[in-house]
Amino acid sequence: MARTKEFDPDEAVDRAIEYFSRHTYHATAVRALARHMGISSSSFYDTFGDKHRVYVLALTRYLTNLQTDQSRLYAETEASVDGLRRMLHLMIDSYLTGQDQRDWGLLAVNATFETILSDRQVRELLMSNYRAFCGILQTFFVRCQKANTLAADRSPEALARFMVGVISSLTTLARLEPDRKVLEDTINVALEALS
C-alpha cells in the first residue's frame, strides 16, 4: 500500500522558488534544497525526480505569478510616462530598501545569466516570459496613446521591447551597483526616449 505524502508538493515548490531566488542553480545541493523545501531527500527524488525538474517547476510557477503581478500592476498604473516613472521608482525603492516583498523578476534574471545558454527548456520559459512582459507593456503603451500621453506615431511594440530591456538592465544594475542616483539616471535617460 502506497504511503500518503506527508507534505504538500505545491508548498514545497513555493519553497524551492524562495531557495532558487537566493542560490544559483549549479551551486545548489539537492540535500540543502530538499531541507529548505521541508522534505527528505528520498521524498524529493520520489516526488520530483531530480533538481532540474524542481527548478523548472519552480521557475514556471514563479514566471506565471510574476506575469500575473506585472499585468495587474501595469493595468493599475496611470497611462502616462509619469505613471511609468512612478512604477520604476517603486522598483528602485524595493531594490534599495528590501522592504517591498515584490521581487520584480530577480529569479528570472538569475536564470537568464546562469542557465539560458545551456538549458533549452529554461530558455523557452524565459522567452515566453519575455514575450508576455512585452505584451503587458505594449498594452500599457496603447493605453498611453489612447489617453494622449504618448505620441500616436510611436510603436507600442518597439517601446515595449525597449522598456523590457531597460527594466531587465535595472534589475541587474541594482544588484551590481545599488546606488539610487545611478538607477534614477538610467530611468531618466530611458524615459526621455519615450518623449
pLDDT (tens digit, 9 = 90+) per residue, 17-48?
989 988 889 989 999 999 999 999 999 999 99
Neighbours of 63 (CB within 10 A): 21
Cell numbers describing residue 123: 530558455
Query: What average pLDDT does this structure show over 65-94?
Result: 94
Fold of the domain built from segment(s) 56-192 = Tetracycline Repressor; domain 2 (1.10.357)
Q: How far apart are CA 116 and CA 139, in angstroms?
A: 27
Q: What is the DSSP string of 84-142?
A: HHHHHHHHHHHHHH--S---TTHHHHHHHHHHTTT-HHHHHHHHHHHHHHHHHHHHHHH
Query: How remote is the C-alpha of 129 from its chain's centroid?
Result: 8
pLDDT recorded at residue 1: 46
**pLDDT class for 87, splitting at 50, 70, 90?**
very high
Q: pLDDT for 124-175, tens place per residue?
A: 999 999 999 999 999 999 999 999 999 999 999 999 999 999 998 998 888 8
What does pTM read for this prediction? Answer: 0.88
